[in-house]
Chain A
Amino acid sequence: MLATLSSATLFGARGRPVTVEVHVSPGLPAFSIVGLPDEACRESRDRVRAALLSSSLPWPLKRVTVNLAPGDVRKGGSGLDLPIAIGLLVANGALEPEAVAGHGFLGELGLDGSVRRVPGIVPLVDATSGDTIIVPAGCGREAALVARGAVHTVGTLAGLVAALRGEAGWPDEPPPPPRASMPGPPDLADVRGQPVGRLALEVAAAGGHHLLMVGPPGSGKSMLARRLAGLLPPLPAAHALEVTMIHSAAGVALPPDGLVTRPPLRAPHHGASAVALVGGGSTLLRPGEVSLAHRGVLFLDELGEFSAPVLDGLRQPIEEGVVRVIRARASVEFPCRFLLVAAMNPCPCGVGGEPGACGCSDNTRQRYVRRVSGPLLDRFDLRVIVNRPDAGELLGGGSGESSALVAARVARARGAAAARGVPTNADLPADRLDELAPITKRARRLLRSLLEKDKLTGRGLHRVRRVARTLADLAGDEGPIDEPHVGQALQLRVDPGYLDRRAA
């Protein structure tokens, strides 16, 4: 007898439909899986057998062949356990074929017959055909985001078989954990002082400008960076689903209601490998940190400690907003439009640029800064020095503006950018700057003299103009960009070169 069921497997951040065919025929007892299964998939045989026996369901002492179609796509993971087990029951005559018609199945089996969750439920459900999708208990809300028909959750194989036979009702989805267990993003009001750091953060959020913070340890760089995601507007529905798909595929914990609606913040450690950061792997192509930060913030703390090849691997994703992972058997694309925020110490000793205070020689400092390649450094529109706040500001003084206040200004500035036809000002095309972001005569004169004195390069000029536009938008200034905005934009771009003119 033959049974055919629909399911799906993960391919990058998307699902691919898989048809599971189970054939049971007389002969010596044997069990084989064909159709490019990976190791986890092949082991399915042992899990399915134990689960069936633990659930008091029959295991056929016959020749069993499982085919996973299409045959040329590699199938990974254990999510095909459930369709194989059900297919086996149908092919064996323990279940009526009509009972499973129009159903799709996803889930891993435990040896005791329990049905367990697998990573990537959202893209998997999206790819599975069928009017009714059966998913493991606890995945109902995620599955419902993309399901076109009904979604049923099951906790055990026995419960599922009973429900399919019509002997029992479908089990209820357990209630989500209380909201309180998910703390909100930290608030900007906790940050005392730091007017320059705060402004840079606001500009980065409003204009989509990548931000580099340089400062001694304990100056609050990480504290600031972790508050950036809270300044970004919530994700619109289309983006939210995109992000949820990627997070689900990577097996990252999703919020209780399943949908990622807040821009994510990813902060990989500086020991991260190139594959961990950019994505890849051998059989299961996994999204990397840059894709997990899609539509959100990628925070690289201790930028100088990342290995140089890893950092240079970031340049292309930053520029193109998409990562292409290419392997001999397959290639997949992961989206990665993120806001890059990086922090680093000014020199190995950490004391920094305060003239005369730091014990590092000019050479040591240059070597430290040079670890971050020029082209990468160039991607940062905003480069600021963050120093330890003054004692007075730490103890006395009121708390700063709250994230909500700043986020309101950010939303307004983003609205102004949208009116220009770009998502953020960082995306303003260089050749249309004069038309979309005009500047006053005074400001033009200031910029010209900077160019003439070699204090600014042509490329730097465009970046300064974009940042100045964002500053004007934040101030609610709709006219052409004026001198103060240009001046501020320039001061938010610290020269990374520690060289000076006369002395070596």
Chain B
Amino acid sequence: MTHRDVAHALALCALPQMGPVRLRALLGRWPPEEAWAAVRSGRALTDAGVRERLVHAPAPLAERWRSASASIQPELLLRQAHAAGISVLLHGRPPYPSVLVDDPEPPLVLFARGDLGVIDGRRVAIVGTRNATEVGREVAFELAAGLAEAGVRVVSGLARGIDGAAHRGALVANGAPPIGVVGSGLDIVYPRESARLWDEVTARGLLLSEAPPGAPPEPWRFPARNRIIAALAEVVVVVESRRRGGSMSTVEEALARDRTVLAVPGSVRAAASEGTNHLITEGAVLVRDVGDILVALGFARPSPLDAAGALGAIDPADRPVAEVLQRRACDLEALIRATGLPLATVALSVTRLELKGVVARRAGWIEYVGGAP
């Protein structure tokens, strides 16, 4: 009765506070339908078989589950998910993705929207901080675009900052389809402003989540989501990260699974690159351009670096300003101090460089964005 199993597994996921560990304890003890019956009767957590699999289970939880389960109709839930275009995959039963089957902590129930076939292919995760710098986003965008062009699927979390920029890059390249793994239900767009990005990723690639339809983006779901990103990727590229944070948890999950970790270096003064610089000292592979990632995947480096860079095209008069900005982001006053030029000259140079797209101004800070540094 596969269909009934799927419906009941989905119903179990929809219970409050149902994380991967608790789900594994229940489904490890019983088949889905019996586990559901146990929840309904309120004895799900008192059973000895469950208790030995579950170290931490607060006592009131069984009662919460029991009362919540009274209003859940498994069959109806499944019909609603299908109506929303969401398919429910059970571990070990086709079409559950084979890459996740042997994972040490596979999601027992996985929700998908889009074409499941896109998982088959080379996959690289690009992750990083939500509070990224302009440079970080540009780099994530360019790396993702380069990978997609080379036929590599970009896996990321659709979050703000680096993740979103990576997905946008992958979409722009019009190459390999992108894969997004999110922390909320597939019908709950988070962050809200990324609604169009979600739609595009679904239309051209695949969206995955461990959270049932309707689940809000609860904080505890994101570390669990990160382990799926790590599990899906063959290599993980961190573009920008603070010393602690979500990206670092992805890195830990990746290392636990023997995945290669790559990191994009940043200025030693940039807080947003503290984490990635640290990873490099710990032995992560340094990423200068998309070629470095392709080499890590075993591909040949595509083309030699364009060494001339953007500086060649810059008016000699604007070069002093561009050179300072290449080293670090500055405000106007710091630029005046660093170049020793009068304000009028610096201001004109910044305006011209901005016009050429070599630098970008964001809330008064001027960053170098043009070409490879």
Contacts and interface: CB of A to CB of B under 8 A. Distances in A.
Interface of A: 193-196, 199, 214, 346, 352-363, 365, 384-385, 387, 389-390, 446, 449-450, 453, 455, 483-488, 490-492, 494-495, 498, 500, 502-504
B327 to A, nearest CB: 13
A385 B137 contact: no
A385 B131 contact: no
Contacts of B138: 502
A484 B160 contact: no
A487 B347 contact: yes
Given A194-B333, A488-B348, 17 more contacts: A214-B364, A346-B364, A355-B135, A355-B272, A355-B365, A355-B367, A363-B191, A390-B337, A484-B345, A485-B344, A498-B362, A500-B362, A502-B165, A503-B161, A503-B168, A504-B193, A504-B194
A353 B351 contact: no
Contacts of B130: 361
A342 to B, nearest CB: 15
B354 A455 contact: yes
A394 B130 CA distance: 35
Contact of A357 (B271, B343, B351, B364): B271
A365 B160 CA distance: 14
Given A196-B332, A355-B367, A484-B344, A504 B270 contact: no
A38 to B, nearest CB: 51
B356 to A, nearest CB: 10
A450 B137 contact: no
Interface string B269-305: 0111100000000000000000000000000000000
Contacts of A494: 361, 363-364
Nearest to A197: B333
The B interface, classified by DSSP as helix, strand, loop or mixed, is helix
Contact of A503 (B160, B331, B352): B160
Contact of B355 (A346, A363, A449, A484): A449
B333 A193 contact: yes
Interface of B: 130-135, 137-138, 141, 160-162, 164-165, 168, 191, 193-194, 197, 240, 270-273, 329, 331-334, 336-337, 343-352, 354-355, 360-365, 367
B160 A504 contact: yes
The A interface, classified by DSSP as helix, strand, loop or mixed, is loop
Contacts of B350: 487, 491
A488 B343 contact: yes
B331 A502 contact: no
B343 A195 contact: yes
A498 B361 CA distance: 10
A352 B364 CA distance: 10
Q: Which of A214, A362, A485, A487 lies at the interface centre, i.e. has the most chain B CB atoms within 10 A of its CB? A: A487
A355 B363 CA distance: 9
